[in-house]
Amino acid sequence: MSTESGTAGDERSIAAMLESAVAEDLELPDGLRVGRLTTFVDLGLDSAGVVFLAGRASEYLGAEVPPEWVFDHPTIQQLARFLAQHAVTSGDGHA
């Protein structure tokens, strides 16, 4: 894990990816926004959705994001901030 803090831009792009993944998992209509401060449980994300979200984040960052991190950081904003600060990247420009 990297000890360097991510930039605000990284956090914003990660949050946008997480928002898109949650909307996709919940099959929300295009254009419907997901609250970044609402807990994943309150959004309706179940355990399968948590695994999906962790997988999507792993693909985006090029590093494993365990589902436990989603439970430990239960909003898009909290998870994006954590991933921007701590996630290992593949060097593809994400995070």
One-letter amino acid at 64 equals E
- Higher-confidence residue: 31 or 51? 51
Find the mean pLDDT for residues 18-40: 93
- Contact between residue 38 and residue 15 where contact means Cβ atoms under 8 Å apart: no
DSSP summary character for residue 3? -
Domain 8-86 fold is 1.10.1200
For residue 31, give every residue at least 6 positions away whose Cβ sits within 8 Å of its Cβ, in sequence order, or none. Answer: none
- Domain spans of the chain, in order of start: 8-86
Number of residues that make up the chain: 95
In the prediction, which pLDDT does 30 show? Answer: 82
Concatenated DSSP letters of 43-89? HT--HHHHHHHHHHHHHHHTS---HHHHHHS-BHHHHHHHHHHH---
pTM listed for this prediction: 0.82
Q: 2-15 pLDDT, tens per residue?
A: 434 445 669 999 99
